[in-house]
Amino acid sequence: MSALEWFAHKPLGDGIFWIQERFYESGNRANIWLVRGSQRDVVIDAGLGLRSLPDYLRAAGLLPPPEEGSPPRPVLAVATHVHFDHSGGLQHFEEVAVHSAEAAALLRGDNYEAVTWLSDREVARPPRPGWRARNFRVPPVRPSRLLQEGDVISLGDRQLTVMHMPGHSRGSICLHDKDRKILFSGDVVYDGSMIDWLPYSRVSDYVASCRRLMDLVDRGLVEKVLPGHFNIFGAERLYRLASNYIAQAGICHKVSTCAMRSMASIALRITNSRVTS
């Protein structure tokens, strides 16, 4: 199967494209965002990596061909975090950026921290004959840029500001286009239940991140959220999702989350030990 078959995209206007992996039929299927700038382009998250996303971008005409005698237009792949559904495709990019808290995990190909858990039934059309999900791994990738809170990724005519928002994972980030009031939220928030029971999740961090999200809405700095999963939503829904999480993050929730984290950690270690053995 070619890259052109594996992916599909939808233009949203203003240089933003929504890309998905067509045959990854799972609630874990991540949204991929291409943001075009006057000087460079950014891909936010990269999917599983079963097919080359850069190949798709070129074949679909989403990246302009280089002018004769000029190098290809630079494309930076930014991972909102290193979980497998967002980071598997980073291997296909020359320039990769990730928050410094998760850079070491990406560099060593740590599939425990990447929460690598894929089943055959989730892949409707295997990428090649004989492919099996149990052999899927997030390969080691050396980041070319380590991100920190407040860093600005310049595309020329637009700037994306890094907001470190731990909770879902220790290196989770959002990217904020302040001028357009757009928030690329990764898995910090999407229109569904927030997952805070993974190996490097932390409820107290998540509560603090949700307070920051509510503050963005209170200050009128976000009007549209482009999340890591599911559909786009607006400021009112963002505020409600964040405030609802804070309201339910009491002692009982923390106890149940701790138990779920222990079970998930054991299952992940068993699963990934089988892959490596």
197-213 tens-digit pLDDT: 999 999 999 999 999 99
Residue 178 gets the label, from left (phi > 0), alpha (psi -120 to 50) or beta, of alpha
Residue 234 has pLDDT above 80, yes or no: yes
Which tokens sit at 75? 């494309």
Rounded to whole angstroms, the Cα distance separating 82 from 49 reads: 13
- Class assignment of domain 3-274? alpha beta
Which tokens sit at 237? 């829904």
Number of H helices, E strands in the chain: 7, 13
* Residues pairing with 98 in the sheet: 146
Which tokens sit at 183? 């928030």
Average pLDDT score over the chain: 94
Residues 49-77 pLDDT 10s? 999 999 999 999 998 777 777 777 779 99
Residue 113 has pLDDT above 50, yes or no: yes
pLDDT confidence tier of residue 215, bands split at 50, 70 and 90: very high
pLDDT confidence tier of residue 274, bands split at 50, 70 and 90: low
Q: Which of 6-15, 27-36, 228-237, 243-252 has the lowest mean pLDDT?
A: 243-252
Question: Percent of the chain scored above 70 by pLDDT?
Answer: 98
Give me the mean pLDDT over the 110-139 stretch: 95
Determine the length of the chain: 277
The Cα-based distances of 253 to 250, 258, 266 in angstroms read 5, 9, 20
Residue found under tokens 């980071």 = 87
Rounded to whole angstroms, the Cα distance separating 199 from 168 reads: 9
Which tokens sit at 53? 């996303």
Check: CB of residue 82 under 8 Å from CB of residue 105: yes
Give the per-residue pLDDT at 275: 53
Check: CB of residue 109 under 8 Å from CB of residue 142: no
